[in-house]
């Protein structure tokens, strides 16, 4: 399943970029006025005791509507490689996720604003599968090519599967590089939603190409 998703993600990336390049001139009619984007996100997550390590890659084709009631629609294709060490024994788990996410931007005036995001997704592991969702609320600063966000995420399973409810704090800068390129850096701290124990810290790098 994991290898299939990796292959599917690479194929989708090529098709999305090729298709968007050829269709961009007709986007007003063919893409309902949305601007296509494609992102790749790399994440490394570590547990506080250093015994757990997760690397993940996410492919994010998207449509952006600057003046719409919803400003962004994302499809997320995620592949995670989780490693845990217990008594010197290393256990590795592959996790695949597919999700849909929407975003609404709110301007305060000047360089300040905020955004709200909501996601619904499905996860598969060798031992379980579950549905999950999250909501993001973030304060955002943007000036010329530089941006910065600080926000919170509330993540819950939607079918009662235990062990995946988390609250997160997220912050970091972003940089617009010309008209077509954007880089985002994020630091994330996660807590168990029920015990409030710190679960992990993560660093994220995301590159987005804007057609």
Q: Which domain CATH number covers 117?
A: 2.40.128
Q: What is the DSSP letter of 63?
A: E
- Per-residue pLDDT, averaged over 12-32, amounts to 51
Residue 140 tokens, joined: 């955002």
CA torsion through residues 188, 11, 178, 136, sign: negative
pLDDT score of 24 more than 70: no
pLDDT score of 117 more than 50: yes
Phi and psi torsions of 17, nearest 5°: -65, -45
Q: What is the pTM of this model?
A: 0.84
> Taking Cα atoms as reference points, which of 77, 55, 48, 52 lies closest to residue 191?
48
> Taking Cα atoms as reference points, which of 41, 40, 44 lies closest to residue 52?
44
Count other C-beta atoms under 10 Å from residue 146's C-beta.
12
The more confident residue out of 160 and 4 is: 160
Q: Report how many domains make up the chain.
A: 1
- Nearest-angstrom CA–CA distance, 38 and 181: 10
> Residue 85's pLDDT band (boundaries 50, 70, 90)?
confident
Domain of 187 in residue numbering reads as 2-210
Q: What average pLDDT does the chain have?
A: 88
Those residues with Cβ within 8 angstroms of residue 167's Cβ, 6 or more apart along the chain or in another chain: 152, 153, 154, 155, 190, 191, 193
Backbone region of residue 103 per phi and psi (left: phi > 0; alpha: psi in -120 to 50; beta: other values) = beta
């Amino acid at each position: 399943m994991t290898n299939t998703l990796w292959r599917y993600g690479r194929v989708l990336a090529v098709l999305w970029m090729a298709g968007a390049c050829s269709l961009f001139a007709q986007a007003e009619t063919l893409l309902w006025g949305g601007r296509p984007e494609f992102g790749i996100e790399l994440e490394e997550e570590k547990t506080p005791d250093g015994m757990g390590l997760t690397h993940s890659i996410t492919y994010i084709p998207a449509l952006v509507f600057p003046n719409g009631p919803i400003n962004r629609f994302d499809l997320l294709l995620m592949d995670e490689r989780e490693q845990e060490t217990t008594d010197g024994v290393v256990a590795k788990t592959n996790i695949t996720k597919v999700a849909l996410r929407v975003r609404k931007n709110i301007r305060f005036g000047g360089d300040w604003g905020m955004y709200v995001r909501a996601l619904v997704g499905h996860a598969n592991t060798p031992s379980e599968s579950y549905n999950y969702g999250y909501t993001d609320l973030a304060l955002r600063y943007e000036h010329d090519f530089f941006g910065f966000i600080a926000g919170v995420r509330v993540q819950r399973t939607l079918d009662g599967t235990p062990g995946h409810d988390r609250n997160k704090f997220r912050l970091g800068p972003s940089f617009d590089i010309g008209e077509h390129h954007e880089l985002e850096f994020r630091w994330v701290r996660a807590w168990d939603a029920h015990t409030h124990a710190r679960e992990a810290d993560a660093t994220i790098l995301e590159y987005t190409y804007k057609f």
